[in-house]
Structure 1
Amino acid sequence: MPDTNSEQYLLNEQVSFVQHALPGLDAGMYELQVNQQIFQSDGKTPISGEAYSNSYTFAVTADRFSLSSPGSVISSIFPNDNASGEFSNVLPHVVFKKETFPWTRYPTIDEPYTPPQPGKDVDADVPTWLWVLLLDEDDQAAFPALTNSITVCTTGDLFPIAAYSGSKIPANTYSYFYDATDLADLEPGQLTTDTINVVDIPMGLFWQLAPSVEDLELMAHVRVVSLINQPTNGDSNGEPTGSFSIVFGNRLPNTQRKTKAYLVSLEGLEAFLPQANGSIPSNPPATATDTIRLAVLANWTFFSTGQPATFVHTLESLNGCTPGSGVSASNTNIRLPYDGTNKVVAGAFNMGYVPLNETMRTAEKNVAWYRGPLVPYSNAGAAPLKLPITSPDAATVFDPTTGMLDTSYAAAWTIGRMVALQDTSFSTGLYNWKKGLGQQVNNNVENTVMMQHFNVLPPVTLQGARTHTAAPLGSIFKQTVLKLKQ
């Protein structure tokens, strides 16, 4: 039972959803203007010619067309790379370690919100600049120009040739700098020779799949979750909770299709994004026969098997039953096949037992039976174990029909102990109880030693003897010193 009085228990169950986490300064160039004016002693009259002014230019850098260190930015992806399962009802997404990352840039041309006063929050929804794009072979069949493959190029290949003569961008292809006339849109630290990954999408397909700015306002959020008993790879720094930002896609994967997922940038592409009602943008810079080039920050592949991937159908398939046929399988145990003639062994296999190698405490090699804790049949005839069980060996059962040991209960006991010790409230209570019990044993031993060597008895009545009352602690020490001096 969890300790309901413990805040730790509530912390383990806590998940908080946050609208967004805006950075203090967005990525880009800034100019700081500093003015100083000296006044007369009255504090109102300025001194002529004593005004000073200076300006400073600085930049806030952040990942733009690639991730400089993917491991420090991305915490996880879903579905996992090369995963196979029932993903047709989930939106693929990316979890970021940096909670502000989805809002360091924007898909709009202008800043999508008015910066608030210091100490105030932004209540309006803020669109993210990231998008999880999904493509499969059906898209390639509908748009033969689509290759679904990553192209390695440079940042310079995002510019039109009119802005950068070294650009190798294909004809009728648009990208982030579609209206640039020079390289002024590059930020400090960015070079035209920087290697990036891109994917070229036919504009007609892009308008079918791309989210609107209004959609992007709802496709990212922050989650504050408990890190207690969670594998955080050392990123928690000992903190009980952690904040992660999540960016979702807007398309469900097709079943029985190999899907490719791309985390792409939509920075500044507002003019190409569909309208809120899903229709193509008004007065777009490109036509449906053109192509748009997107920078790929991460990509992975997975396969959606559809409904047959459910546990029930998988179990039926393992037992020779056609999924969805309505015919019950003769045996629903997950078991190993056995083609031998030994009926005892065949019965054990049909009940889900497996023979496993075992190393005894005496270093001897042995073979023992094992099965999982759940069985789809009555087990009322099994011999009950004697409780309490002090060790896994005490839960080991000898099977006289095969002359082998059954370690199923021993394994279940070990699993139960591990699960119990994982509960902080239980493990802490157990430690305190053992510590108190040890202290009690030490006190009893000390009392016995004092009684035997210094004639200091605890407050108990011994049969055939008079009642002794334990002396005060200070008196005991005095008597002990006197005895040692004698």
Structure 2
Amino acid sequence: MSDESGSVVFARKAAPPLAKGDYVVEVAQSTQNIADCKIANAQLKITVSCDGFALSRDEIYSVYPPDNAVGTFHLVIPHAVFKRRTLPWERRITGGKSAAEFKELPWLALLVFDETEDAQYKTMSRREAFKKLPGYYCPLPAVCPEGAAEEVTGEDCGVLDIEAQLFHAVCPGKEDLVYMSHAKGVSLDDKVTDSTVIDDWFSCALANRYLEGTSGEAVKQTAYVVSLEYFGEYLDKTPAERAAMTESTVRIPVLYSWPFYVRQEDFDFASVFKGLNADCLITAAAKEAGGNNLLAMGYTLLDHELREGSKTVSWYRGPLTPCGIPLQAHIPGCFADALLRYDPATGMFDTAYSAAWQLGRMLALRSKAFAAAMEKWRYTHKREAARLKNERLLSDKIGSDTRAAVQSMLETFLDSQERQEALKNGGRGK
């Protein structure tokens, strides 16, 4: 959701209504005045949880930089947007001595590594992933894997094996985690979303480091959404205590990941746009029509179905042109065809302004805010026109000396009309 000005609304945290755990709902009947009427008590057990070792692609609304994209992302903080507003707070960090602090922190984080750093992604069974291995720091769940629930011992999961000193350098501290996830509400009126998006609130996880690129070949970077649920004891350690750890490798669960490539120059929008080849728009039919001058102005030939059903070929150009073109249409037009222009030199139509009019109309009608504003405008002017008309009619009947009385009568009449209209619309009004 956005406020009335259309800006984004941010929230530091969106806690779920029920914390992770097991719940029991009991229903019992109590009767005092009806004898021999007793319904047996009912009980329903509910488990609230989410998978702490995997994240479906369907849970991701968007990522940035985009998956497998190549670009100048060296000044970008990578982030992932989730469809569930509560996802970063649906589980809690356990272990350590800071339970009260961990209650307010997200249990997941976004870490980014480039291809030159010692961070190896692996897929293995959950039982294998959390075995105690020499030289590895991998906090186990509260119960040993051999006796753990299916969530720990069952299907495969992804893990990231990171060189310990590298992990110490990039892992966020408790004071950083609070800033690395947030919830935000945005208006979906002018956005293209899939059918699974049912809410206008999302959650977002941010990385805690800028990306590095070179002026030569693009450097591959990979962003990992990782679980810190069992890293409470590690997060309680001071930097000196972390540096003193004897393990050489840290293993951490990975819920989701995506790669992208970073370059520092020669791959920005301007350089790519200048290198575009527009010759694909120059067709053989266009050259035969003798429209070389129009082609130089950015026009091309497209199929055109006229209003009465006949078909022809007409000229079309978009808003981006290689040279300045003066306005050649009478604007505004009442409908799209009013902006069609006939070129007697080629015997063909120019549909540029007509297509732009139709596109603008479709975009405007798609916006709920625009439709509401237009309806309000129509109603206001319709009411004012009715007031002026009735005032003029009544003034002709009773003379100009009673203009003030007429004005009062009209206001009363129009107010009653407005109330009746509201009743017809189910009390909603305009």
- The aligned runs of 1:176-187 (5 Å cut-off) are 176-177=139-140, 182-183=144-145, 186=148
Equivalent in the alignment of 2:53: 65
Select 1:395's aligned residue among 332, 339, 349. Answer: 339
Q: Which residue of 2 aligns with 1:358?
A: 304
Q: Distance in 2 between matches of 1:424 and 1:58?
A: 39
Give distance in 2, aligned partners of 1:355 and 1:198.
Answer: 54
Counterparts of residues 329-478 of structure 1 (less than 5 Å)? 336=280, 345-375=291-321, 377-380=323-326, 383-385=328-330, 387-428=331-372, 430=374
In 2, distance between residues paired with 1:22 and 1:430?
A: 38
Q: In structure 2, what is the equivalent of residue 160 of structure 1?
A: 131
Corresponding position: 1:268 with 2:230: yes
Tell me which residue corresponds to 1:246.
Answer: 204
Shift of residue 244, structure 1, vs aligned partner: 1.6
Return the letter of the residue paired with 1:136: D
The one-letter amino acid of 2:64's match is F
Q: Which has the larger radius of gyration?
A: 1
One-letter identity of the residue aligned with 1:233 = D
TM-score, normalised to structure 1, is 0.62
The reply on whether 1:301 has 2:259 as its aligned counterpart is yes
Q: SS state of the match for residue 275, structure 2?
A: helix
Whether 2:144 is the aligned partner of 1:173: answer no
Which residue among 169, 174, 180 is the counterpart of 1:213? 174
Q: Please give the secondary structure, in 1, of the residue aligned with 2:346.
A: coil
Q: 1:183 to 1:30 in 2, by over 3 A?
A: farther
**Which residue number in structure 1 is paired with residue 15 of structure 2?**
22
Distance in 1, matches of 2:323 and 2:3, equals 37
1:16 is aligned with what amino acid?
Answer: V
Q: How many pairs does the alignment contain?
A: 364
Aligned twin of 2:34 = none
**What secondary structure is seen at the aligned counterpart in 2 of 1:208?**
helix
Deviations 1:171-205 (A, max 9, x none): 53332319x7834883x553513321222222233
Q: Distance in 2 between matches of 1:9 and 1:248?
A: 21
SS in 2 for 1:308: coil
> Unmatched 5+ residue regions in structure 1?
1-7, 32-56, 116-123, 162-169, 320-333, 440-457, 462-486
**Are positions 1:223 and 2:184 aligned together?**
yes
Q: Letter of the 1:98 partner, please give it.
A: R
Aligned equivalent of 1:314: 272
> Do the aligned partners of 1:86 and 1:304 also contact (CA within 8 Å) in 2?
yes
The corresponding residue for 2:410 is none
Partners in 1 of 2:105 and 2:64 — Cα distance? Answer: 21
Distance in 2 (CA, whole Å) between partners of 1:339 and 1:358 is 16
Matching of residues 32-51 of structure 1 within 5 Å:
none
Following the alignment from structure 2 to structure 1, what is the Cα–Cα distance between the partners of residues 283 and 49? 66
- Secondary structure (helix, strand or coil) at the match of 2:74 reads coil
* Aligned residue in 1 for 2:90: 104
Instruction: Kindly state the Cα deviation for residue 413 of structure 1 after the two structures are TM-superposed.
Output: 0.8
SS of 1:263's partner is strand
2:65 paired residue among 55, 79, 87: 79
* Distance in 2 (alpha carbons) for counterparts of 1:15 and 1:438: 34
For the residues of structure 2 that align with 1:185 and 1:102, how far apart are their CA atoms?
27
What is the distance in 2 between the residues matched to 1:432 and 1:30?
A: 49
Alignment of 1:202 with 2:160, yes or no, is: no
Structure that is richer in helix per residue: 2
Shift of 1:374: 4.1
| Change in CA separation of 1:82 and 1:182 when aligned onto 2, cut-off 3 Å | closer
**Residues 12 and 75 of structure 1: CA distance in aligned 2, closer, same or farther (over 3 Å):** farther
Question: Normalized against structure 2, the TM-score is what?
Answer: 0.70
Q: Does 1:135 align with 2:79?
A: no
How far apart, CA to CA, are the structure 2 residues paired with 1:437 and 1:271? 67
Instruction: Report the residue type matching 2:127 in the other structure.
Output: G
Aligned-partner Cα distance in 1 for 2:319–2:63: 32
CA distance in 1, matches of 2:204, 2:366: 28
1:58-80 per-residue CA deviation (whole Å, 9 max, x = no partner) reads 9643221123x552x43322223
Is residue 274–residue 280 contact of structure 1 (8 Å, CA) maintained in 2?
no
Counterpart of 2:10 in 1: which secondary structure? Answer: strand
CA distance in 2, matches of 1:9, 1:199: 37
Q: Which secondary structure state, in structure 2, belongs to the residue aligned with residue 389 of structure 1?
A: coil
SS in 2 for 1:80: coil
User: Could you say what secondary structure the match of 2:273 adopts?
Assistant: helix
1:11 pairs, out of 4, 12, 17, with: 4
SS at 1:133 equivalent: strand
**C-alpha contact 2:96 2:233 (8 A) present in aligned 1:** no
Tell me, yes or no, if the aligned pair for 2:2 and 2:187 is still in contact at 8 Å: no
Letter in 2 for 1:175: C
Distance change >3 Å, CA 20–CA 373, structure 1 → 2: same
Q: 1:244 to 1:204 in 2, by over 3 A?
A: same
* Secondary structure at the counterpart of residue 212 of structure 2: coil
Deviating more after overlay: 334-343 vs 261-270: 334-343
Q: Give the conservation status (yes or no) of the 8 Å contact 1:220–1:245.
A: yes
Q: 1:364, CA displacement in angstroms?
A: 3.8
Q: Which residue of 1 is the match for residue 75 of structure 2? A: 89
